Amino acid sequence: MSYINMLNNTLTTLPKVMIITTSRAEFGVMYWLINSLQALPSIDCELLVTGNHLVPEQGYTIDEIKSEGVSVTESVEIMISGYGAPAKAKSSALGMMSFSDVFARRSPDLVMVMGDRYELLGIVSAAALMSIPVAHFSGGEITEGVVDDTVRHAITKMAQLHFVSNDEHRGRVIQLGEQPETVFNVGELGLENIRKYDTLTLSDLGESLNFHFRKPFILFTFHPVSIDQGLKGVEQLQVVLSALSKLTSTYEILMTYPNNDEGGEEFVSLIKSFHESHQTNVFVIASLGFKRYLSALKHCAFVMGNSSSGLIEAPSLSKPTVNIGNRQTGRTRGTNVIDVDVDEAAILEAVNKAGSIDFQKSLKSASNPYGDGFTVDRVIDVIGKISWPINCRKKFYNIGTK
């Protein structure tokens, strides 16, 4: 069943598209899409801000959204204090309750969400139970080291439209039973930033951080891992920080806080202690914001840690990534990625490779498996062909299994 040109338009008002953002990273990725949809005269585009955007410990990044001149329709607090699994489950439940009221009051014709954050599980569940169509970005991806996989695939099954970043991911969404004509390979949204955004110079970046770079620097982010049979999360970070301590004579290190997955609070404590011992060569910040992060990505020697940015955005800037541990296991990667176990000697060896002139030269002509940075135009094209209202009824697509 196709949702494109499926019905005659029967709405008497402009179709209302509600974009929901829950985190700094996600908003940065969706920035140009939000701008474009809010400027589109054929729809009424609303932006709902929730999740970590409203948490002071995560930088209260709703202020960043407003500073970019983006129109915020409403903010919805759903986060329960804490980093553990119970807090995540309760936050998701509160999201379901709160957005049930939001959806009833605002009556969106389409809800747009991106990715796999656990907060979205309750929000999208509310939409599904209220027969509100959902468009999902970045389905079909795999991250075996975290529970995000489960959330991502669950959202896929509750969505009517799917915008994926490559043909491999499109195939996985179809494998989950989604109709092929509802799954669109548009490329990764975050690459639009690299193509369009005016980044800061290295000098301006340092001035904005009150940290003046004197040596090549490593852009470092290390998130907790929720599914791992090896070292516990804190033990993993201790190994990684030990390796970093051996690098401060050669590199400066720009570190951002982890997300608020289980173990995040302990991670922050360890990072603060590491910073206190290495203040001359290490700068720590809760959130760079997407403009400064993209600027840091452009100017860094290489990316290090276990953030998806090293796999998705870094290839477009020909930046090496030292990807540590199994958080990103299963995710598509380009030739810029050096995968390494949580082992100090192995990490240092990978760093030597990432910093080598020969390896960095080899990336100059490498392609990015996540697209070319023209994603928004493709999404707008699909949105323009929708016949409203969208039918929520879904038919399972059988690929021939017995």
pLDDT digits (tens, 9 = 90+) for 10-28: 666 899 999 999 998 899 8
CATH topology of domain 200-362: Rossmann fold (3.40.50)
Instruction: State the average pLDDT over residues 85-95.
Output: 93
**Backbone angles phi and psi of 240, in degrees to 5:** -65, -45
Instruction: State the average pLDDT over residues 197-221.
Output: 95
| H runs (alpha helix) in 223-326 | 233-245, 264-277, 289-299, 309-312
Token pair 């011992």 in the structure block, residue? 277
The pLDDT value recorded for residue 319 is 98
Sequence-distant (6+) residues with CB within 8 A of 69 are none
Token output for 268: 């922050």
* Residue 380 binned pLDDT confidence (cut-offs 50, 70, 90): very high
Domains 16-190+373-384 and 200-362 share a fold: yes
CATH topology of domain 16-190+373-384: Rossmann fold (3.40.50)
**What is the spatial distance between Cα 117 and Cα 18, in angstroms, rounded to a whole number?**
17
Which of these, 393, 383, 397, 399, lies nearest to 14 by C-alpha position?
383
Instruction: State the average pLDDT over residues 133-139.
Output: 98
Cβ count within 10 A of residue 211: 17
Strand partners, 335: none
Task: Judge whether 284 and 255 are in contact, CB under 8 Å.
Answer: yes
The residue type of 275 is: H
Task: Judge whether 46 and 37 are in contact, CB under 8 Å.
Answer: no
Cβ count within 10 A of residue 10: 8
Of 51-60, 245-254, 325-334, give the range with the top mean pLDDT: 245-254
Is omega for the bond preceding 86 within 30 degrees of 0, making it cis?
A: no
- Segment among 12-21, 88-97, 229-238, 266-275 with least mean pLDDT: 229-238
What are the domain boundaries of the chain?
A: 16-190+373-384, 200-362
More confident position, 265 or 63:
63
The pLDDT value recorded for residue 227 is 65
**What is the spatial distance between Cα 387 and Cα 10, in angstroms, rounded to a whole number?**
8
Angle between helices 344-354 and 233-245 (to 10 degrees): 50
First CA to last CA distance, the chain: 22
**What is the spatial distance between Cα 30 and Cα 313, in angstroms, rounded to a whole number?**
13
Whole-number Cα distances in Å, 227 to 102, 243, 366: 33, 23, 31
